[in-house]
Each structure stands twice: as C-alpha cells, then as structure tokens.
Structure 1
Amino acid sequence: MSTRPSAPTPPSQVRAALLVAEREITSQVRTKSFLISTAILLVGILAAIVVSSVLSGREGDDVPVAVVSSVAAGLDAADGLAVSDVADRDAAEQAVRDGDVDAAVVPGDGPLGVEVIAMDAAPQEVLDALTEAPEVVLLEPAAAEGGIRYLVTFGFGLVFMMSAIGFGSTIAQNTVTEKQTRIVEILLSAVPARALLAGKILGNSALALGQTAAIAAVSVLALVVTGQDDVLTMIGTPIVWFVVFFAIGFVLLAAIFAASASLVSRIEDTGVVLQPAIWLTMLPYFLVVFFNDNATVLTVMSYVPFSAPVGMPVRLFLGEAAWWEPLLSLALLAAACLGVIAIAARIYERSVLRMGGRVRVREVLSGASAD
C-alpha cells in the first residue's frame, strides 16, 4: 500500500518574514532605477561637498593673520598669508574677535612656545606655515552658526524625508499592486499576514538604512579628502546618532505606509490614505528648516517619535543636548515604534484581503468582519 507524501512544514513566522524581506531587497536592487538613483545621489553629495570646499578656498587671495613680533619669524614670507603685526596677545585676540583676521599667532606656554588663536577653527594655511604643529586656542569652539548651521540641519531633514518617502512609497505601491493583481492571496497561502508585513518592513528598512549609511560614509569621506576637519569634528557624532535614529524611525513610518496602503485595492486610491504618513514624514524637514534657531521647537522635536530622528541629531550637532537626552529620546522612539507596529499589524491583517472600496480604519480596528 502506497503512502501519501506528507505536506511540507510551513516556515516559522521569523523564517517567513526573512524570506519576504529577501524578496523585497533582491527585487529592488535588481532594478536599474534604484541603482542609478542611488549612484546619482551619492555622486551628487560628494560633488556638493567638494565644490563647497573649493569655493570656500577661493574667498580671498590670502588668509589675514595677526602675529606678535617675537614669533613672526618665517611667517612673513609664507604663501597664502596676509600677515599684520600686533603688539601683544591681547591685541591679537581682539583682532580675531573683531573679525579683522582669521587667526593670530602668539607666544605660548607649551613646548613649542607658539599658539594659534582662532574663533571656531584654525585656518589650515596658518598651521602649514609653522614648522611644527602648534597649540590651537579656539575662542568659540562649539560655534555652529550661519551657513554651516543651516546646511547641516537642512541635510538631516532632507535625507530623512527623501529616504522615508521614497522607500515608504515603494512599500505602499507593492502592497496595493499585490492586492490589485490578487498576488497577495497566493502569498498569504504560503506565509501569514503578519510575516508578510514584517518582511516588507524589514526588507525596505534594510535598503533605506543602507542608503542612509552610504550617504553618511560618503559625506565623511568627502570631508576628510577635502580637509574640512573642523566640520567633520562637529558633525561626526551627530551623523552616527542620525543613522541609529533613522533605523528605528523608518521602521515606524514603514509600518504606517504598509498599513495605510492595505486599506485600498487600487493604485489610484493611495493618495488619500497615504497623505497622513507623508505629512508625518515631511513635517520634521519643514520644522528644522524654519525653526533651526529655535531651541524650544528643536527640544520638542527631539522627544516626539515622528520627528526625533531629525530633531535629536540636530540638537547634538548644535551642542544643545545633554549626554542622556539621546538615550531617552531613543527609548521613547523605540516604545512608540512597537506600539505603531502592533496597530499596523492589526490593520494590515484584517484589510489586506478586502477588495473593492476603501476600508475604514475604525471599522478594521473595531473588529468588524470582512464582506
């Protein structure tokens, strides 16, 4: 008597989620549009930093430097420096504060007997003109004002918004397409709905985090190559925190995008259901652009889960956050992320197979049965 082959054992929830995540990642990285857009983005960032460095190096023929006579030997003949004599250290420091010179070379108490005084960063031309590396005294070492303040805060907000909307829209489009073509019914016959949702979130989160980490790495490399060590010193730690916050913050938004898209069955209907998610993604960008000099707004942003991935790194860059604040903000973000995922999973599980018109969130959450 022949025996029937036993049915294959269905994969566990974790295994199923990983399989879906792998499918999401491979389908994306194989598309030319994804590869080309990522390459253009990275090259654009690299070019922008290099061009800004070149342009900043052309602001004037020589760097104005005040020098006390007793340590002026060799500096008068140095290329790229416009040297002016001052009587003593106090006069040199005052010239730096008044903006008459970019730096001052004065007698020092260290082993070299020379110090360089500057406001927020010592000009590299001055350091290169000295035979040995001197002590550097910065009058305002934490200053991040004017253009650099705006550009860095603008950059954090823009990268978060572009990545979150780009990959979030991909999740939404794939979700609706699977419903519209009935492919979701085949997928759900092999994996549970929650595993399908988890795989979509994990796969696209990995892609978004990888792209963000690549942006951070290219930015750091470009700053090192162009010799902008002062800027790198200011943004190094905030960039690391930004990547960490982005990793959790995007998962939160990805869950919202997926759950929202599961409420409709046609691509044409996604605009209305995705609008709240898009506004939550765009809001941090507009806040840091218009309120980057408002400490109160930035503080509130750094503790609101949807804006913390932008608000807290910006405050760290500006030196306005205590050491424990990013840890507390990250804990709040993680807790909010778990709560949002739980609600999103409930919505997705109960609406992903419902075809026809738009499904109401209240109806889904109340536990009403499908038609």
Structure 2
Amino acid sequence: MNAPASVRDTNAIWLVAEREIGSKLRSKAFMISTGILLLIALAGILIGGFASKNPEATKVAVTSATASVVEALPNVAITEVADRGEAEELLRSDKVEAAVLPGDGPLGYTVIALENAPDSIVMGLAQTPEVEILDPATTNPALRYIIALGFGIVFLMAASTFGGTIAQSVVEEKQTRVVELLLSAIPSRTLLAGKVIGNTVLAMAQILALAAIATVGLIVTGQTEVLATLGSPIIWFAVFFLFGFVLLASLFAAAASMVSRQEDIGATTTPITMLVMAPYFLVIFFNNDPVVLTIMSYVPFSAPVGMPMRLFVGEAQWWEPILSLIILIASCVAAIAIGAKIYENSLLRMGARVKLMEALRG
C-alpha cells in the first residue's frame, strides 16, 4: 500500500534538506570559514572585554609638589622628576604623555604636553560643577555602536552566504540538467522547500553558535551586565532571523531559477542582495536615530536587525516585537507563495533569462 502524498512529500522535503546540509558540511571551505568566523567573534569579544577592564595607564611626569594631586586620578602611571627641564625631556622622548608641574594659576599647578594634553588628565584635574542630566542616555554610545555593528554583520554574512548558496545550487542543477531528473521524482515546490529548510537549518546553527560564543566571551570577561542586557535582544534576533531568512531564501531561489548560467546569477539576485545589505548600513549609520530604527523594526527585510536594536536600547514597548513578528510572518508567507510560483514556472526553462512577468504568469 502506497504512503499518503503528504507523507511522501514530507519525506522528500527532508531528503532534499539533508542533501543541502550534507553538501555544506562536506565542504572544507565552508567549515574553515565558519571556524574562522567563530574565532574572530570570540577574539573580538575577549579583546574588547579585557581592554575595557584594563585600559592602558596614562604616563604622567610629576614633581614632589604635584605627586599627591596626580596620584588621586584613576589609571595613571607616575614618573617623578626634579624640575621642568627633566619633565620636558621625558615629553620629547615620548616617555610620558603629560607633565603636571607647580604653576601660578588658581589651582596651583600646570599641565604640560608635547602636542595634545590627555583629556583624562585635564578633566581629572579640573574643578567641574555638579551636572544634572534630565534625559540620560539608556546605553553607552560606544557599546550601542558595537552591538549595532554586531547585529548588522551577523545578519549580512549569514543571509548573503546561505542565500548565495541556494542561488548557486539552483543554477548548478539547471545548468547540469540534474533538475530534470529531480523533478521526475518530486514536485518543484517540494524541491524548493527542501532547499530552503536545509539552508535555514545551517544558517540558524551558525547564528546559535555565534550567540553561544558571545555568551561565553562575555562571561569570561566578566561583562555580566552587558550579557543580561543582551539576553532578550539576542533571542528576538534569532526568532526574527529565522523567518527573515526563510523569506530571503525563497526569493533567492526564485530569482536564481530565472537564469541558466552561473555568471547570470547577479542579474536577478542583485535586488535581493541590496535588501540584505540595507539593514547593515542603516543600523550602523542610524543606530542612534529612534525614527529610523522604528521604521526598520517594522519593515520585513530589516526587522531582524532593527527590532533587536530597539529592544537593546529600551526604546520598544512590549507589544512591538510581537506586532513586527506578525508582519514578518505574513510577509514570509507571501514571499514563499510568490517565490514558489516563479520557481515552478522558471525551473525547466533553459537558455535566455526568464522575465519576471513571464515567470509569474507561467
């Protein structure tokens, strides 16, 4: 007795997915590049964490009269000198960055430097008034930029790498006529579903590995506060990336099915590649602009980057990621339907590039 069609289709989808996963895992280039990516991520977190905890001390020359003043400043290395002449000699030989010597000013001392006086020394010695901030920043600007850069790079690399893999696989099967054999055994939509699922599994595995690496790095460097702040945004990033990648993967496969040669892939996939690159540049240049981030968090192609960033800086209400996810899932369903139609209508058409309207009409 034959198995029901739905069971056969499900089995076929997983067979195609396993084939996609297996071909990648057998690729030395893929495994090496993934290992390098994880090592770079870990090294960046460790170096950044240790550097922030152990900043390089500022070297300062002092006399016996000013030593007590400078010793009270954080993170300074003191070299005691006898007079101004010895201090200037150390400055010109780059052995110190500044010298604090007795002076006639109201504070009783003067800061001397070769070109520019270190801000940490000048500000530390200055008498500043009490400052009251009415609207304090929710996150450190430098940390905000680093997190934005991290989300942008991970999304760009994962989406472009595995999206490009799907496109190359589709065209390779057309170019070698393997697709004709595959379609004699399984429907085109089953083949498309298997490719999308297989590469989604690989992309999500890479995202989860990066998240684990980031967690380990933050724990090792003692950045538990940053880890606590990043926990929820990273989880949301993974959820948004899952549906965002399925959307993009469907479009990459559909676009690639419209051509029959590897060298023609760029002609149809360039618009999708631009959609992948846009969130990366937007989140880098506008990570401190709440209006741009809000728009990004609701646009399906940029929501995987925009919404986690808004959650990290505390600018999103509790219901906003849920609404954004609903919009993304609806867009994902629409993209799959359109992509499947283009894929089905273009897969067996060889030779010249298939025009979009022809692919949609069938």
User: 1:246-285: CA deviations, max 9, x gaps?
Assistant: 0110000000000000000000111110101100100011
Q: Which of the residues 198, 203, 209 maps onto 1:203?
A: 198
Are 2:324 and 1:329 aligned? Answer: yes
61 and 172 in structure 1: CA distance in 2 versus 1, 3 angstrom threshold = same
Q: Aligned equivalents of 1:8 and 1:221: distance in 2?
A: 47
Moved over 6 A (4+): 6-11
Q: Which of the residues 15, 18, 39 maps onto 1:22?
A: 18
Q: Aligned equivalents of 1:167 and 1:262: distance in 2?
A: 16
Q: Which of the residues 148, 151, 156 maps onto 1:153?
A: 148
Task: Describe how 1:42-81 pairs up with structure 2 within 5 A.
Answer: 42-59=38-55
User: 1:41-99: CA deviations, max 9, x gaps?
Assistant: 1111111111112222222559xxxxxxxxxxxxxxxxx999xxxxxxxxxxxxxxxx8
The 3-state SS of whatever aligns with 1:190 is coil
Query: What is residue 290 of structure 1 aligned with on the other side?
Result: 285
Query: What is residue 240 of structure 2 aligned with on the other side?
Result: 245
Task: Describe how 1:103-252 pairs up with structure 2 within 5 A.
Answer: 143-252=138-247
8 and 303 in structure 1: CA distance in 2 versus 1, 3 angstrom threshold = closer
Query: What is residue 355 of structure 1 aligned with on the other side?
Result: 350
In the alignment, residue 293 of structure 2 is paired with which amino acid? L
In the alignment, residue 212 of structure 2 is paired with which amino acid? A
How many residue pairs match? The answer is: 292
Post-superposition shift, 1:147? Answer: 1.1
Q: Aligned equivalents of 1:269 and 1:9: distance in 2?
A: 39
The 3-state SS of whatever aligns with 1:12 is helix
In the alignment, residue 329 of structure 1 is paired with which amino acid? S
In the alignment, residue 208 of structure 1 is paired with which amino acid? A
Q: Aligned equivalents of 1:186 and 1:46: distance in 2?
A: 44
TM-score of the superposed pair, with normalisation by structure 1: 0.75
Query: What is residue 39 of structure 1 aligned with on the other side?
Result: 35
The 3-state SS of whatever aligns with 2:359 is helix
Query: What is residue 82 of structure 2 aligned with on the other side?
Result: none
Post-superposition shift, 1:229? Answer: 1.1
Q: Which of the residues 4, 8, 12 maps onto 2:8?
A: 12
Q: Aligned equivalents of 1:9 and 1:302: distance in 2?
A: 42
57 and 342 in structure 1: CA distance in 2 versus 1, 3 angstrom threshold = same
In the alignment, residue 19 of structure 2 is paired with which amino acid? R
Post-superposition shift, 1:16? Answer: 1.1
In the alignment, residue 326 of structure 2 is paired with which amino acid? A
User: 1:156-199: CA deviations, max 9, x gaps?
Assistant: 01100110000000000000000000000011111110000000
Query: What is residue 341 of structure 2 aligned with on the other side?
Result: 346
Query: What is residue 279 of structure 1 aligned with on the other side?
Result: 274
Q: Aligned equivalents of 1:81 and 1:283: distance in 2?
A: 41
Taking only aligned residues, the RMSD between alpha carbons, in angstroms, comes to: 2.3
Post-superposition shift, 1:9? Answer: 8.7
Are 2:256 and 1:261 aligned? Answer: yes
187 and 320 in structure 1: CA distance in 2 versus 1, 3 angstrom threshold = same
The 3-state SS of whatever aligns with 2:351 is coil
Q: Aligned equivalents of 1:316 and 1:54: distance in 2?
A: 26
Structure 2 spans left out of the alignment, 5+ residues:
59-73, 77-122, 126-131
Are 2:359 and 1:364 aligned? Answer: yes
Higher helix share: 2
Post-superposition shift, 1:145? Answer: 2.6
Q: Aligned equivalents of 2:244 and 2:4: distance in 1?
A: 35
- Amino-acid identity (%): 54
52 and 353 in structure 1: CA distance in 2 versus 1, 3 angstrom threshold = same
User: 1:192-217: CA deviations, max 9, x gaps?
Assistant: 10000000000000000110111011
Structure 1 spans left out of the alignment, 5+ residues:
1-5, 63-79, 83-98, 102-118, 120-138
